Structure formats: C-alpha cells, structure tokens
Amino acid sequence: MVNKINVGDKAPNFRLPDTENRTRSLKEFLGQEVILVFFVRAFITTCTKEVCEFRDSTNKMVNMKAQIVGVDINGPPKIKVFANKNKLTFPILSDHEHEILELYGVEKPSILLLNEKGIVCNKWIYDGETVTPNYDEIEESLEKIVAKKKTEKCVRNVITISRQIGSRGDEIARNICKILSYSYFDKELLYRAAKSIGVCEGQITDFSEDSYKIAGIVDKILGRKRIVATTHMLKNNSPIQKTLDEEICLDVIRTVINNLAGRGKIVILGRGGQGILKNKTNTLHVRIVAPIEFRVEQVMKEEGVNKDEALKIIDEKDKATSEYLQRFYNINWDDPTNYNIIINTEKIDVDTASRVIVTACSLGHRYRPKSELQKRLKSKYKHKN
C-alpha cells in the first residue's frame, strides 16, 4: 500500500459509522482544525496504553479549538467498549472494511493534522506500536495554523440564533432563511437529517430549551439523567417501547447539528447551537434580546394571556433556557462573549435586524484570538454564574 495522502493534499471526505452506528462524515468536523488519528492496530495492550496517553495529552489541542477524530478497523461495538473503558470523549469511527485506510494509504498508526478547509498541514507515521507520538510537535504545528488564520478571511454559511422569548427571534430566523435561501433547523429537519445519518426513528426526539423543565433539587444533587420521551417502534414485526433520557437525546441533536453545519447554508434556532458549534469558524452566533416590557407585550399578543401570565411564562422560559445551556454546554446565556452579534429588537425592527445579520454573514471575518478584555468579561460572567 502506498501513502496516497501527502501534506498539501485535500483530505478526501468519507462516511463511517460511529460507536452508535450513526454515519459521520469528515466534512461535518471541518470548519475548525481536525486531528485525524488512525488507530490501525488498536485494542492490544500497548496500543491501549498509547491511546490513553493520547487522551491525556489532548487538552491543549482542544483548548486551541481542534477537533480530534479517531478511525479504527474494529466494528462499532468493540470501539464503544474501548472508548468507554478508556474514557475517550472524541468520536472514533469504524473502518471495518478498511476502505478509508486504502483511500488514505494508511498501513501504520498515523496522525494527520487538517486545517479548517481539510488541507493536510502535517502528518506523522509511527513504525512501532509502542512509539509514543511527539505531542509537543503536534501542538507546535497546530499553533502555526492558528497563527496563520489571523490574516485569512473566513466565510460564514451557518447562523445560530439564541433568543429571549418575546424578542421576535423566531421571526428573524425565518426571515433570514427567506433572504439567503437557507434551511431552517426545526423538528422536521431534525428527523430527516437524523434518519439520513443512520439514527433509528425510536432514538429521535427534539429536546431543546423550549421543552426543557427546570431540574429538581434531588436530580441536581444526584446528577440524574431524566427521562425526556418514550418512543414506540417495530422490531422484527413486534412493537417495542424505548425510553430516551437527556443524554441520548442531546447526543443525537449534537451529531445532527454538526452534520448539518458541515454542509452549511442553515439557520439554527436555539438547541445550544452556540455551544455545539462554538469552535466552527464558518458560524455566526447571534443573540436576540428585548426589554421586559417589550417582551411582555409580545407574549400577551402571541399567547393570548394577561400581563401576569406573560410575566410568569417569561420567567419560567428564561430560567429553563439558562439552566439548559449551563448544564449541558457550560454556557452562561447572558455572557455577551458567546455571540458575534447581539440585537435589541425594541430598537431595531425584524426586517432591519435580519439584514444586519445577513450582511455580517456575507462579509465573513478574520480570525482573532480573544483580547484581554474579552477574557476578563468571560471570567466575570463565569464567576457571576
């Protein structure tokens, strides 16, 4: 076998099943740097140790916004056991038929460093199974790519919108889709996209901040995973019932959103999009807000309720959204550094707000590391929360 993929080449896209048998593509992970790791002879003692060392040495890479993706020759069930045993949190995909190994010309344990466009910037091939990768060298190579991004313009074709109830954020999201001819991420698209990547129907439910209920004190103390939905499906022509907890539902939503973001041309309303896609350079993060008086009027009009009922709805929704984002994505909803644009719809109408966002998206951006002021703001809101 000849090593076909060299530095400077564009890494070929591929589609492989993950540990849950969901089809994942390389494309969905791009938009940020990707460290592609080929575990050619995994699950022997030495290689297991190697992977654990790799796991313990990836904190800096993750902090530098890199996505780690593993490729292994074993089937999804074995990989799942291996990943759980070694507490590996990055996705590991199954190349059981060796198709991707053949495509990439990989015979030995290898690591490829891809930039956000999928170009191979560096690669490391290891002759022995006991050879430990030079993590300092990988980090140094990653740092050079990050530094180069400072002068390069990035195109944005994904928009996440986080909105306060009563701020007309839903209208703005749909308006943007009409202007740009983008897809709107809703329940229907979630189901279609999930099925297209191999998620069985019985595992799909739309678990978002809109349907989230504040966790009780016992659940918080014990860290329990609450039941979100119960689905019914046929298996071998017999009806079966499946219970879905928060983790299962969120895992499906994260996978689907990453997959759709890889394709681009989509607006994602809520569902923790600003957390799931926080490292994607092709994404514009927007927050829509309004003063309480404005929001009360909107909720009264939309829900047909009186002022006291509107205030109660707003309070419950705000608390639920705040807890949902903090609990599942470690995000302070009120922290302005989580967004590229914040719009007050009392000051700017829906049409103008939509066009401001469209313009910002079309202009792209240049990568800039966080300033000291941004870091202080982030620290302030973290401690405040």
Residue 75 lies in a domain: yes
Q: What are phi and psi of 269, to 5 degrees?
A: -95, 120
Q: Looking at the structure, do residues 110 and 51 belong to the same domain, yes or no?
A: yes
Q: Looking at the structure, do residues 314 and 359 belong to the same domain, yes or no?
A: yes
Q: Looking at the structure, do residues 376 and 301 belong to the same domain, yes or no?
A: yes
Expressed as residue numbers, the domain containing 309 is 154-384
Q: Residue 314's closest CA among 161, 163, 160?
A: 163
Residue 285 lies in a domain: yes
Q: Looking at the structure, do residues 205 and 342 belong to the same domain, yes or no?
A: yes
Q: What is the pLDDT of residue 60?
A: 63
Lowest mean per-residue pLDDT among 61-65, 301-305, 367-371: 367-371
Q: Looking at the structure, do residues 80 and 193 belong to the same domain, yes or no?
A: no
Number of domains comprising the chain: 2
Count CB neighbours of 273 within 10 A. Answer: 27
Q: Looking at the structure, do residues 164 and 116 belong to the same domain, yes or no?
A: no
Q: Is the pTM of this model over 0.75?
A: no
Q: Looking at the structure, do residues 172 and 84 belong to the same domain, yes or no?
A: no
Q: Looking at the structure, do residues 324 and 190 belong to the same domain, yes or no?
A: yes
Q: Looking at the structure, do residues 262 and 376 belong to the same domain, yes or no?
A: yes
Q: What is the CATH number of the domain that holds 87?
A: 3.40.30.10
Q: What is the CATH number of the domain that holds 327?
A: 3.40.50.300
Q: Looking at the structure, do residues 242 and 129 belong to the same domain, yes or no?
A: no
Q: How confident is the model at residue 41 (pLDDT cuts 50, 70, 90)?
A: low
Alpha helices in the chain (DSSP H): 26-29, 45-56, 59-63, 76-85, 99-104, 135-148, 169-180, 187-196, 217-222, 246-263, 273-276, 292-303, 307-329, 350-363, 372-384
Residue 106 lies in a domain: yes
Q: Looking at the structure, do residues 170 and 256 belong to the same domain, yes or no?
A: yes
Q: Looking at the structure, do residues 91 and 200 belong to the same domain, yes or no?
A: no
Q: Residue 340's closest CA among 204, 208, 154, 197?
A: 154
State the average pLDDT for the chain.
Answer: 77
Residue 5 lies in a domain: no
What's the pLDDT tens digit per position in 94-119? 998 999 999 998 888 888 999 888 89
